[in-house]
Amino acid sequence: MSNESLANLLKEERRFAPPADLAANANVTAEAYEQAKADRLGFWAEQARRLTWATEPTEILDWSNPPFAKWFADGKLNVAYNCVDRHVEAGNGDRVAIHFEGEPGDSRAITYAELKDEVSRAANALTELGVQAGDRVAVYLPMIPEAVISMLACARIGAAHSVVFGGFSADAIATRIQDADAKVVITADGGYRRGKPSALKPAVDDALTRVDGVAKVLVVKRTEQDVAWTEGRDLWWHEVVGRQSAEHAPQAFDAEQPLFILYTSGTTGKPKGILHTSGGYLTQASYTHHAVFDLKPETDVYWCTADIGWVTGHSYITYGPLSNGATQVIYEGTPDTPHQGRFWEIVQKYGVSILYTAPTAIRTFMKWGDDIPAKFDLSSLRVLGSVGEPINPEAWVWYRKNIGADTCPVVDTWWQTETGAIMISPLPGVTETKPGSAQRALPGISATVVDDEANEVPNGGGGYLVLTEPWPSMLRTIWGDDQRFIDTYWSRFEGKYFAGDGAKKDEDGDIWLLGRVDDVMLVSGHNISTTEVESALVSHPAVAEAAVVGAADETTGQAIVAFVILRGSANAEDESLVSDLRNHVGATLGPIAKPKRILPVAELPKTRSGKIMRRLLRDVAENRAVGDVTTLADSSVMDLIQAELPAASSED
Ligand code: WT7
């Protein structure tokens, strides 16, 4: 199940060359690979000069105590100054930094000059509330400009933020506040989601009954919902921030000053507080945003649809784009409110030229139908990005064709909360793209695929994705748990960072991500990746989405069980369809990969970041009570699946 299957998936040999005009004016050319290969550290030192340093670093990398890295350690800078003030000083104060689009349709444009004032006021307010350099501030906000302003205000005074995704519960907030020992929480009365105000402050109130140490809660008024109020602790943002001076002198901090902690859940155990620091992180966030999206700050309008609660929001809404002086869109709500064309309406309204979104969203748009984006003028678009999980070739091609007018390059960007910034991705003006592949490590990044014994696999082989050299935006540790940092990432393969993803190299040496290694199935002694079977299923015209799991099986060890969402016209009752699909997978990947069972469903269980929760589907496939559903975006989905599948327990 290695080369042939990939070759089959690629049988049409689809390759897309960069558009000539983009290639001719690209920010980064093929030369960057050569330059970085000849002198990797020199290359990163050069990228660090994209930033404005109060003290220029003379050291590049200190790797004397691996895996604890220091980048640009003797340099000093202020991250917020780099994201805001310097653009104003350069004469671009009137440029719009943020076009905010609220879900109800309200909008607000914030220029760099205005952003500087707001961030300065918020920094003064935090200082007044007793926040000092080195402290932690928890941020639990909807997708409103104050989220970005809060992050930058923390950075400006050298405090680390810990953003907690607005969809998380009181429990999740409490554990994160406690683990990071946050002093102040910034939240809102609520935000708009799916056409209604959705409360946020009650979850903070609840969390704070369980943890100590939070002196003040700063509350943004967004929805005007009623809120409970704890006198002496709770303060309105518009009052406290509103009365501050817009003058704030940014102080320079060490390059290794903590910038933020962001918790990632992992499959087991308590969430890991991923620690990122300042100079190296900002260097790579800035460089990759410039290189991968080819951002031209004077003319582009950039839109990343991620939530600020994920690392994508940190690196590609706040730090990358703003350090580059971009004009960007921030949208508060869901893609189907008030109608399924909302995203495309926003692209048309603001003339978005660079769009960065997730495969789960793209597959949803496919399901909704080609006619919806077709109603809008998307001609401003020139680069499309994807992130979060492997993008199946069908979705990739649909994205390019229906959103990108069959001309925009699609950049499939692989990275993680831990890596801080993009690591593997095409470059839009350089790479001949292949649908479904993240392709190759960016200049200055060293990634490869190894087998169980840590040997690099040859082209055509598969195994584990590893990063073989330190990189500027790498996590520095797990907050408060250096040992777990070593054990989780640096112990599986000596001297290499183990990402936890399976991957393959094709005959050209390009990398194809195969999902988390925990998601690989073992069928009759063959390793089969869930991603590949899902991809094969979705390449059938009747299938909109698929999730595949390995269920315990007496004869084969694991048997492949596929949950599929059919497209509008396909009929779930049609017996021949199921056998068609099995044969289609067999023909694409080989008979061993034929699912034993295929179960049509209306929805799939996903986390709030769009990752399929295979654990729950395995419970269904193995006929067990379904486990913990608290991290599901919509916890009713599992009830729906079980109600639809009275036959799920019976044999094929
Ligand atoms: C995991 C990291 C990176 C920001 C959002 C997710 C998967 C991410 C891709 C991609 C294949 C991808 C990996 C990775 N992933 N991007 N382009 N192709 N897989 O951050 O929550 O830390 O998740 O997401 O499995 O390890 P995260």
Nearest protein CA to atom 17 of ligand 1, as residue:
414
The per-residue pLDDT for 2 is 45
Tens of pLDDT, residue by residue over 604-621, are 998 887 888 888 899 889
Nearest protein CA to atom 8 of ligand 1, as residue:
388
Average pLDDT over residues 408-420: 98
The per-residue pLDDT for 642 is 77
The per-residue pLDDT for 269 is 65
Say whether pLDDT at 367 is over 70.
yes
The per-residue pLDDT for 1 is 40
Tell me if 367 sits within 8 A of 335, measured CB to CB. Answer: no
Tens of pLDDT, residue by residue over 12-62, are 468 999 999 999 999 999 999 999 999 999 999 999 999 999 999 999 999
Average pLDDT over residues 432-450: 97
Collapsed DSSP state (helix, strand, coil) of residue 281: helix
The per-residue pLDDT for 610 is 81
Alpha helices by DSSP H, 228-278: 237-240
What is the Å distance from ligand 1's center to 281 Cα?
A: 18
Tens of pLDDT, residue by residue over 549-587, are 999 888 888 899 999 999 877 777 788 999 999 999 998
Strand partners, 100: 108, 330
Average pLDDT over residues 291-319: 98
What is the Å distance from ligand 1's center to 422 Cα?
A: 10
Best probe residue, ligand 1, of 416, 445, 510, 530 (max atoms within 8 Å of C-beta): 416
Average pLDDT over residues 405-412: 98
- Structure tokens belonging to residue 151: 């992050």
Say whether pLDDT at 3 is over 70.
no
Say whether pLDDT at 8 is over 70.
no
Nearest protein CA to atom 20 of ligand 1, as residue:
416
Q: Burial level of 392, CB count in 10 A (0-12/13-18/19+)? A: buried
What is the Å distance from ligand 1's center to 266 Cα?
A: 12
Best probe residue, ligand 1, of 316, 413, 501 (max atoms within 8 Å of C-beta): 501
Nearest protein CA to atom 1 of ligand 1, as residue:
416
What is the Å distance from ligand 1's center to 503 Cα?
A: 12
DSSP per residue, 162-208: EE--TTS-HHHHHHHHHHHT-SEEEEESEEEETTEEEE-HHHHHHHH
Burial 503-531 (b: 16+ CB within 10 A, else e): bbbbeeebbbbbbbbebbbebeeeebbbb
- Please report which confidence band the pLDDT of residue 5 belongs to, taking 50, 70 and 90 as the band edges: low
For the chain, give the percent of residues with pLDDT over 90.
Answer: 82
- Structure tokens belonging to residue 369: 């139908």
Ligand 1 atom at shortest distance from the alpha carbon of 312: 4
Say whether pLDDT at 648 is over 50.
no
What is the Å distance from ligand 1's center to 447 Cα?
A: 15
Average pLDDT over residues 296-315: 98
Tens of pLDDT, residue by residue over 161-180, are 999 999 888 988 999 999 99
The per-residue pLDDT for 422 is 99
Contacts of residues 336-344 at CB distance under 8 Å and 24 or more positions apart, as own/partner, are: 336/194, 336/368, 337/103, 337/193, 337/194, 337/195, 338/195, 340/368, 340/372, 341/372, 341/373, 341/375, 341/376, 343/305, 344/372, 344/373, 344/375, 344/376, 344/378, 344/403
- Please name each of the domains of the chain with its CATH number: 3-435+466-499 (3.40.50.12780), 517-650 (3.30.300.30)
Give the chain's end-to-end CA distance (angstroms, integer).
Answer: 24
Say whether pLDDT at 486 is over 90.
yes
The per-residue pLDDT for 574 is 81
| Residue 140 Cα to chain centre, angstroms | 18
Closest CA to 219 of 234, 230, 232, 206: 234
The per-residue pLDDT for 588 is 85
Average pLDDT over residues 420-445: 98
591-595, 604-608, 627-631: least confident range:
627-631
Ligand 1 atom at shortest distance from the alpha carbon of 386: 17
CA 419 – CA 206 distance, rounded (Å): 32
Give residue 144's identity as a one-letter amino acid code: I
Q: How far is CA 591 from CA 5, 334, 488, 530, 586, in A?
A: 11, 40, 36, 15, 4
The per-residue pLDDT for 266 is 59
List all residues 6 or more positions away from 39 whose beta carbon is below 8 Å from its beta carbon.
none
263-277, 335-349, 611-625: least confident range:
263-277
Tens of pLDDT, residue by residue over 497-535, are 999 999 999 999 999 999 888 788 888 877 788 888 999
Nearest protein CA to atom 3 of ligand 1, as residue:
416
What is the Å distance from ligand 1's center to 435 Cα?
A: 17
CA 492 – CA 517 distance, rounded (Å): 13
Phi, psi of 438, rounded to the nearest 5 degrees: -80, -15
What is the Å distance from ligand 1's center to 468 Cα?
A: 18
Give residue 599's identity as a one-letter amino acid code: L
- Structure tokens belonging to residue 152: 């930058």
Ligand 1 atom at shortest distance from the alpha carbon of 515: 25
The per-residue pLDDT for 411 is 98
Say whether pLDDT at 336 is over 50.
yes
Give residue 619's identity as a one-letter amino acid code: D
DSSP per residue, 44-106: HHHHHTTSPPSB--S--EEEEETTEEEESTT-EE-HHIIIIIHHIIIIITTSEEEEEE-TTS-
203-212, 232-241, 258-267, 509-518: least confident range:
258-267
Tell me if 308 sits within 8 A of 337, measured CB to CB. Answer: no
What is the Å distance from ligand 1's center to 502 Cα?
A: 12
Phi, psi of 621, rounded to the nearest 5 degrees: -65, -30
The per-residue pLDDT for 647 is 47
The per-residue pLDDT for 646 is 47
Tell me if 401 sits within 8 A of 16, measured CB to CB. Answer: no
Ligand 1 atom at shortest distance from the alpha carbon of 424: 17
The per-residue pLDDT for 511 is 98
The per-residue pLDDT for 437 is 97
Strand partners, 184: 137, 216
Strand partners, 99: 109, 329
Best probe residue, ligand 1, of 310, 319, 414 (max atoms within 8 Å of C-beta): 414
What is the Å distance from ligand 1's center to 389 Cα?
A: 5
Nearest protein CA to atom 5 of ligand 1, as residue:
388
- Please report which confidence band the pLDDT of residue 633 belongs to, taking 50, 70 and 90 as the band edges: confident
Ligand 1 atom at shortest distance from the alpha carbon of 516: 25
Say whether pLDDT at 302 is over 50.
yes
- Please report which confidence band the pLDDT of residue 649 belongs to, taking 50, 70 and 90 as the band edges: very low
According to DSSP, the β-strands at 216-220 and 190-193 are unpaired
Region at 118 (left for phi over 0; alpha for psi -120 to 50; beta for the rest): alpha
Question: Which residues have any ligand 1 atom within 6 Å of their CB?
Answer: 264, 310-312, 387-390, 412-417, 438, 499-501, 513, 516, 609
Phi, psi of 560, rounded to the nearest 5 degrees: -85, 125
What is the Å distance from ligand 1's center to 388 Cα?
A: 4
CA 190 – CA 223 distance, rounded (Å): 6
141-155, 189-203, 521-535: least confident range:
521-535
For the chain, give the percent of residues with pLDDT over 70.
Answer: 96
Tell me if 358 sits within 8 A of 330, measured CB to CB. Answer: no
Strand partners, 498: 466
The per-residue pLDDT for 635 is 76
List all residues 6 or more positions away from 467 whose beta carbon is below 8 Å from its beta carbon.
419, 423, 445, 446, 447, 496, 497, 499
- The 3-class SS string of 432-501 reads CECCCCCECECCCCCEEEECCCCCECCCCCEEEEEECCCCCCCCCEECCCHHHHHHHHCCCCCCCEEEEE
Tens of pLDDT, residue by residue over 99-116, are 999 999 999 999 999 999
Ligand 1 atom at shortest distance from the alpha carbon of 609: 21
Say whether pLDDT at 467 is over 60.
yes
CA 210 – CA 174 distance, rounded (Å): 7
